Structure 1
Amino acid sequence: MTALAGPSADTFWALSLRRWNAVCWVLFAAMAVGIVMMGLPGEGMYQALGLLGCVVLSYALLDRFPDNRFVRPHVYLTVLVLAIGGLAYLRTSYAALFMVTLPHYWMFGRTPRASMGFLGLATATTLLGSWLQQGWSAEFLGETAVSTLIVVAVGVLIGLWAHSVVEQSTERARLIEELEQTQARLSEAHQRQGAADERERLAREIHDTLAQGFASIVVLAEAARAGITADPARSAQQLRSIESTARENLAEARELVGSGQRPEQAAAGSVAQTLRRILDRFVEDTGLTVDTTLADLGCDQQTRIALLRCTQESLANVRKHAHASTVGVVLARRPYGVELEITDDGTGFVVGDSAGFGLDGMRKRLAELGGRLTVTSSVGDGTRVLATIPLEIPGDLEGAA
């Protein structure tokens, strides 16, 4: 999955603040020039420059040391409120400073309530300074008070709108971050699940191919060693079977390591032909009687491999556990697909007590193809393994061997 990307609200806010800082320095400089050019009488010009300097110094310290405990945003806003009131009393360009610093109340107020509070204080000190200087004159009531209130009203509206936008951006950034984290966790889960599935698949392939081959080699080697004096011909045949099984195991191992896929050679030829070769080898190695009825079915490679592995696992269980004398193998086409049945007349077992990897591996392999494995057995009554795979097999030939 591709994670949604976008600038966070904090990044956007920091970038906007840096840009506004640059604008503020230019405006502060222009205001200082304007105060000098106004030529206030007496010490008024120096007092106005001093008030503006206090604002600039506080702003510079806040910008340079944002984490300093003595230079808090509220300290700067307090200095700004007092300076605007003082400039209004001096009848200088307080309105310009008021308008230039309007965004600061929303930037540094932290909350809408605090921003509105400082903006209200700035309005009050401005009107107070102007009233102390002008009194209840027509100029104060008609121009100063009205223009100040209009500027404040516009600032409030803009500030509330900006705060709403920032809040939405913050919420959107939070949702995007949560979505990215969820996507990352989901991707990790998919990767872990994929790795687990691949390990399970490899374990099943190794169990059904290499492990079964090695088990056959061990059994044949023990039999050959035991009969090497009494029946040399039989031992020689078993040694040839060991060699053949070892070569097949080597080919299987190379296929697994080289491609990481299911060995394709295992499914070469028709299902019936492949099963006959396996059963001939089984009879040769064990001497058991095997009755077969194998329909000549055409099916896809995965189905061939599943039928082959189920046969190999069932025969391996007969060899190791059943102590049987006769084995029956039936491969047939049914209306719902293909059916493989393997029976023996051995000692049987309690199916519910079986905890081996082989039966579970067969079930999972068949389940991947929509099939099912049914195992019927009881102690002393032999075992029946039935594998069914739903399959449409158009135009295949059915025959019996």
Structure 2
Amino acid sequence: MTSPAGLPADAFWVSTLRRWNTVCWVLFAAMAVGITALSEGGARYAALALLGSVALAFAALHHFPDNPVVRPHGYLALLVLALGGLAYLRTSYAALFMVTRPHYWMFGRTPRISLTFLGLATAGTLLGGWVRQGWSGEFFGETVVGTLIVVAVGVLIGLWARAVVEQSSERAVLIDELRRAQAELSQAHQRQGAADERERMAREIHDTLAQGFASIVVLAEAARAGLAGDPGRSARQLRSIESTARENLAEARALVGSGGRPDAVASVAATLRRVLERFAEDTGLTVTAELDDPDCDQQTRIALLRCTQESLANVRKHARAATVGVVLARRPYGVELEVTDDGAGFSVGEPSAGFGLDGMRRRLAELGGRLTVTSSVGDGTRVLAVIPAEGAA
């Protein structure tokens, strides 16, 4: 929080009090000069003694604010006595009242205490004047009226100043709370961003490197099993292992070089066709494909490719299918990808232990799309991915 002068609130009030303390010392000195010039005899020395005691108490309170011996309320009580004494001596009591009026609010701590001491100062001043002057016209015309005017002005200014300070304090508290809330929100955004980035990286690694390694494992097992009976097939599988390993290496370099962002997919139909040919060669399954080439943005092309790769990986690992069908079509409402197989199927209601289906759902959801999986035990599986028209040109 800042003050009107552009300083922080605490520094502003500290500098204001320091300036007022300087003004007080100047006025104390002026009062001493006035008492010396206008008073005579013993009244002069008594008035100077009272003023000096007030000045010493104020100096002690200013220089030793944390000392338990120096009490703000003790200073205010001494100020009440000094005002009463100066009123009795008829020497500069009004000037001292004007100079020290803010002290009741500065050192009173609460409005009730401030008003109490201000009332005591008023009563002491009137009592001193009454003892000196009696019920005279001069007492009512000068002492009573002058004192009440000074007190009324002091009360109004003090209440206004305290209200300003309290509002400033409340504002400072609210601003501190707002800053803490903003810091916590920023940290929460950072944590959420890091979590989202970790999830995205996990999805990319699962859809590329992990699938490639899974293919390598399956092909290696098949090649080892066929070494004795079908060396030619094993040789083809070894070549597929080499190709898959090279592709995985390229994928890893691309992920590292692009900060985890997937490479561009130029033509989704041509890319899917190569993926399907490679899948048929590696697995020996019959693959049928009907592939349109919809004009869609880069993120949509990547999502369609990853969904196809994940669906084929699930067929390879779980389906025990003989035939796989893939349909990519442009619809009025968007782009549609359908992958079906005639394998063992599964119960869709059972929770999935893997990352694949959930990863596909999240990827499609980022584009406003949806994933529908239809399957039952013994009846094969149908995976339908739909991306709305906003993802297409």
Structure 1 letter corresponding to 2:107: F
In structure 1, the residue corresponding to 2:150 is in which secondary structure?
A: helix
The question of whether the paired residues in 2 share the 8 Å contact of 1:84 and 1:122 is answered with: yes
- Selected match of 1:381 from 363, 375, 379: 379
> Residues 5 and 78 of structure 1: is their aligned pair in 2 closer, same or farther, counting only changes over 3 Å?
closer
The question of whether the paired residues in 2 share the 8 Å contact of 1:10 and 1:170 is answered with: no
CA deviations on 1:95-120 (whole Å, 9 max, x unpaired) are 11110111111111122221111111
Give distance in 1, aligned partners of 2:87 and 2:76.
16
Q: How far is 1:392 from its partner?
A: 5.8
The answer to whether the aligner puts 1:345 opposite 2:307 as a matched pair is: no
Give distance in 1, aligned partners of 2:391 and 2:363.
20
The answer to whether the aligner puts 1:159 opposite 2:158 as a matched pair is: yes
Q: How far is 1:380 from its partner?
A: 1.1
In the alignment, what sits opposite 1:55? Answer: 54
Q: TM-score, normalised by structure 2?
A: 0.94
In the alignment, what sits opposite 2:172? Answer: 173
In the alignment, what sits opposite 1:270? Answer: 267
Give the aligned CA root-mean-square deviation in angstroms. Answer: 1.9
Q: How many residues align?
A: 389
Give distance in 2, aligned partners of 1:35 and 1:259.
86
Q: TM-score, normalised by structure 1?
A: 0.92
- Selected match of 2:366 from 365, 368, 376: 368
Q: How far is 1:145 from its partner?
A: 1.6
In structure 2, the residue corresponding to 1:331 is in which secondary structure?
A: strand
Higher relative contact order (CA 8 A, sep 6+): 1
In the alignment, what sits opposite 1:208? Answer: 207
Give distance in 2, aligned partners of 1:327 and 1:289.
6
Alignment of 1:10-159 (within 5 A): 10-42=10-42, 44-159=43-158
Q: How far is 1:60 from its partner?
A: 1.7
Give distance in 2, aligned partners of 1:37 and 1:369.
91
Structure 2 letter corresponding to 1:41: G
Segment of structure 1 superposing worse, 10-19 or 215-224: 10-19
In the alignment, what sits opposite 2:197? Answer: 198
Segment of structure 1 superposing worse, 354-363 or 65-74: 65-74
CA deviations on 1:329-388 (whole Å, 9 max, x unpaired) are 111111211110101111111112223211001001001111110001111111110001
Structure 2 letter corresponding to 1:20: W
> Residues 5 and 64 of structure 1: is their aligned pair in 2 closer, same or farther, counting only changes over 3 Å?
closer
Give distance in 1, aligned partners of 2:184 and 2:392.
45
Q: How far is 1:53 from its partner?
A: 2.1
The question of whether the paired residues in 2 share the 8 Å contact of 1:9 and 1:166 is answered with: no
- Stretches of structure 2 that go unaligned for 5 or more consecutive residues are none
Q: How far is 1:68 from its partner?
A: 2.1
The answer to whether the aligner puts 1:355 opposite 2:353 as a matched pair is: yes
Q: How far is 1:261 from its partner?
A: 4.2
Q: How far is 1:174 from its partner?
A: 2.2
The answer to whether the aligner puts 1:335 opposite 2:332 as a matched pair is: yes
Give distance in 2, aligned partners of 1:219 and 1:394.
36
The question of whether the paired residues in 1 share the 8 Å contact of 2:341 and 2:382 is answered with: yes
- Stretches of structure 1 that go unaligned for 5 or more consecutive residues are 396-401
Give distance in 2, aligned partners of 1:317 and 1:302.
22
Identity %: 77
Q: How far is 1:317 from its partner?
A: 0.6
CA deviations on 1:277-305 (whole Å, 9 max, x unpaired) are 10111111111110111112221100000
